Amino acid sequence: MKALGYTRPLEIGEFKTALTMLDVPMPEPAEQELLVQVKASSINIDDIHFAEGTFFGGIYPSRASIDKPTVAGVDVAGTIVKAGPGVAGFKPGDSVLGFMMPGSGRGAWAEYCCLKSKLALHKPAGYSFAEAAACAIGGKTGASAVMCAQAAAGCQCAVIGASGGIGSIVVQILAKQGIHVTGVCSGANKELVLSLGAEQVIDYTKGPFDSQIGGLQMDAVIDCVGGRDVEAQGMRMLKKTGRFVTLCGPEKYIGERKVGKMGIAAMLGYVLWRACITSIIGPRYIMGGLGSSLEPLQNLVLNNAIKPPIDRRLSFNQLAVREGIAHIGTHRAKGKIIIDIAPA
Ligand SMILES: NC(=O)c1ccc[n+]([C@@H]2O[C@H](COP(=O)([O-])OP(=O)(O)OC[C@H]3O[C@@H](n4cnc5c(N)ncnc54)[C@H](OP(=O)(O)O)[C@@H]3O)[C@@H](O)[C@H]2O)c1
């Protein structure tokens, strides 16, 4: 079968030129796995980081080789062809969405993939395959972050990176719950973020965002960008009882560089230290979006028919997807980039 991937560990910046259309054996579903004909996938910024061995500063080195190529991609939307032993709740012909384990080397940018049934959900009828692929890991991450924020109707919540793949889902979940949302993005994306349900938009290119909200105090800030400057500004916007939920931690655009074992230890130490100290003095600092439970995705995203904006749709060929990778690497995507792998 055809699959997009790579046959050696890549250097930083190489993924967008080294991604290749491969001919690989058709996978066979193991226990608790579903063989899925992939209809659509998406490009996540972390697909680059896994390929280039920089995920979370280099926590998973790439192991791709000529004998064992890595198929890229995480998000899956498609149709079940075969259920492996022990699968319950799914059958051939069902339409599903889900995600491949990041860093496993068994990716979704392929005609077929073996999806773990615990990482799969039935695709709601109101979602196209492209829309479902757009919601998989981004929806899981965004919905988990919202749960960590513990904001209720009437609360004030800011979303940093509000026009991106995850931020655009987070804004919609919060607005649907009657939470007042302030989106932080560049001015070019103001109308998009307002259309998703934000009540106001702050342009981070015009100076520190905490100085642009006129003294409004937030109950929660959800950070989809990372970095200590973003943290400092986000913390200043919060009430003492508020929560700063970061998907990225102290490193802006985490995964763009290798930081070495000491660097990874320092980042983890920082996250733990901030979480401990702020649980006493507030506002609380929380690393969010982690874990693989699909309940938040089902309950907060799919049940509410939330769909991120689609930046662009690409054909399943190496040149188109290479261009998509280059675009997502600029951090300027407006929502999700979709790869159409097979006709619906
Ligand atoms: N914790 C987890 O489990 C987990 C899971 C998945 C992903 N992540 C991480 O979550 C992050 C977000 O992912 P994503 O898919 O949403 O990324 P994305 O689609 O690339 O998001 C880009 C967004 O960030 C905004 N932005 C860029 N620079 C900014 C800055 N300096 N200040 C404020 N906003 C800025 C952009 O706005 P403009 O274009 O308007 O500038 C755009 O809205 C990634 O770093 C990823 O590694 C974490």
Residues 209-255 have pLDDT tens digits of 999 998 899 999 999 999 999 999 999 999 999 999 999 999 998 89
Q: Which residue has a Cα nearest atom 41 of ligand 1? A: 186
Residue 172: CB within 6 Å of ligand 1?
A: no
- The alpha carbon of 29 and the centre of ligand 1 are apart by a number of angstroms equal to 33
Q: Give me the percent of the chain exceeding a pLDDT of 70.
A: 100
Of the candidates 165, 107, 172, 128, the one whose C-alpha atom is nearest the C-alpha of residue 146 is 172
- The region of weakest confidence among 149-163, 252-266, 300-314 is 252-266
How far, in Å, are 37, 75, 165, 224, 290 from residue 108 at the CA level? 10, 6, 18, 24, 20
Q: For the chain, give me the number of helices (H) and strands (E)?
A: 9, 16
Residue 136, φ and ψ in degrees, nearest 5: -65, -90
How far, in Å, are 97, 98, 194 from residue 34 at the CA level? 11, 11, 39
Q: Give me the percent of the chain exceeding a pLDDT of 90.
A: 93
> How sure is the predictor about 156, in pLDDT bands with cuts at 50, 70 and 90?
very high
pLDDT tens for residues 275-330? 999 999 999 999 998 888 999 999 999 999 999 999 999 999 999 999 999 999 99
Mean pLDDT of the chain: 96
Given a cut of 90, whether residue 167 has pLDDT beyond it is: yes
> How sure is the predictor about 39, in pLDDT bands with cuts at 50, 70 and 90?
very high
- The alpha carbon of 287 and the centre of ligand 1 are apart by a number of angstroms equal to 15
Q: What is the pLDDT of residue 20?
A: 97
Q: What is the pLDDT of residue 208?
A: 93
State mean pLDDT over 337-343. Answer: 97
In terms of Cβ atoms closer than 10 Å to its own Cβ (0-12, 13-18, 19+), residue 215 is exposed
Structural domains of the chain, ranges and CATH numbers in brackets? 2-135+293-340 (3.90.180.10), 138-287 (3.40.50.720)
Residue 309: CB within 6 Å of ligand 1?
A: no
Residue 335: CB within 6 Å of ligand 1?
A: no
Q: Are strands 112-116 and 33-43 parallel, antiparallel or unpaired?
A: antiparallel
> How sure is the predictor about 105, in pLDDT bands with cuts at 50, 70 and 90?
confident
Residue 250: CB within 6 Å of ligand 1?
A: no
